[in-house]
Amino acid sequence: MLLALTLGGTLAAQTVQPSLSVTLSRVDNISRTSDIATRRDATTYEATLAASHHRQLTRAWAVTTGGELSTFQEPDFDRNAFTTLAGRLAFQRKAGLGPLAPVVSIESALAYQDTRYASHRGMTVESGLRISKRITTSLRTSAGVQWREHFARTQTFDTHQRSASLEATWDFAERWSLAGSVRTAEGRFLTHASPAAWARALAGSLGPAVARAYASIPSEVTGLYGPNWITYRPKAHATTGSLSLLFALTDRASAELQGSLTSMTNEADVHYPTQAVSLRLGYRF
């Protein structure tokens, strides 16, 4: 499960929009381990300080620039801690007049991730395209595609994913919203295995196809989830579904309860299920 606490928000257009977020999380199988007996669960903490600026260029075009500083802590497995400094840029085009007109956004980001485990340090590049549409005054939807790549110090932590997502939000009362999303991604992901489980896979106990695949996957002994644990980078496909309930506490503060489930399968047909539940609080300056 995942439990999260977040503070955040935005201000009016063409102003600097600062936000602060703090996240408390509980995640089942945070280690992305296929062996049920050795999966690791954990509580994590995250804080993000962000600011953005929105500028209307023409009636149809706008640009948003921003930056954020975030830190992530996983006390039970503290070698996974990291701090990220990121810059973001987005161009938006509104295709028509009125609040129901669709908006197309071209988004990009560049971030440096300073991790406690040195091999994971490096730069992350993101780019994407998103289309948002308000169906009615209370129902809005969006769809997007994204490319993300992390350039780490070692090949094991060099990851990249291509993803597509669908989201819908229903403002069913004055202060209440219900949102759902589905995201599918493919590429290279980080997964982990205990020494015994890794040895069994290489020895062929999970079948020759798994043994061949694991022998060629970039990997290293990291100890991130226990003594001599192995981190490896398989090709995989992941699908995540989430459902959240948002309550506006005030004009600046909000609370959100969210649940999510991720199903990931690697190139050798090995599965890594992860589930999460989250509670978020938000505040805008």
For 236-259, the three-class secondary structure string (H helix, E strand, C coil) is EEEEEEEEEEEEECCCCEEEEEEE
pLDDT at 2 over 70: no
Query: What pLDDT, on a 0 to 100 scale, did the predictor assign at position 21?
Result: 86
Cβ proximity of 226 and 32 under 8 Å: no
Edge to edge, what strands does the sheet with 191-193 contain? 191-193, 230-232, 219-221
Average pLDDT of span 236-265:
94
Residue labelled with tokens 């669709």: 102
Query: Quick one: average pLDDT of 113-121?
Result: 95
Mean pLDDT, residues 68-93 taken together: 96
Give the least confident one: 5-19, 132-146, 194-208. Answer: 5-19
Identify the pLDDT of residue 281: 85
pLDDT at 46: 93
In this model, does residue 4 exceed pLDDT 60? no
pLDDT at residue 11, as a whole number: 36
pLDDT at 3 over 50: no
What percent of the chain is modeled with pLDDT above 90? 82
| Averaged pLDDT of the chain | 92
Token pair belonging to 67? 């930056």
Give Cβ neighbours of residue 240 (< 8 Å, ≥ 6 apart): 181, 182, 183, 184, 185, 260, 261, 262, 263
In angstroms, rounded to a whole number, what is the distance separating the alpha carbons of residues 135 and 168? Answer: 10
| Confidence label for 52 from pLDDT (cuts 50, 70 and 90) | very high
State mean pLDDT over 223-228: 96
- Band of pLDDT at residue 23, cut at 50, 70 and 90: confident
Task: Name residues whose C-beta falls within 8 Å of residue 135's C-beta, 6 or more positions apart in sequence.
Answer: 100, 141
Burial letters 99-120, b for 16+ CB under 10 A, else e: eeeebebebebebebebbbebb
pLDDT band at 12 (very low <50, low <70, confident <90, very high): very low
Tokens of 225: 């989830």
* β-strands 16-28, 235-248 pairing: unpaired
User: How far is it, in rounded angstroms, from Cα 25 to Cα 74?
Assistant: 9
Q: pLDDT value at position 116?
A: 95
Residue 88, pLDDT > 50, answer yes
Confidence of residue 223 (pLDDT cuts 50, 70, 90): very high
Percent of the chain at pLDDT > 70 equals 95
- Residue with more model confidence, 98 or 124: 124
Question: Is residue 275 over pLDDT 70?
Answer: yes
Give the distance, in angstroms, between the CA of residue 269 and the centroid of all CA atoms in the same chain: 23
pLDDT tens readout for residues 136-180: 999 999 999 999 999 999 999 999 999 999 999 999 999 999 999
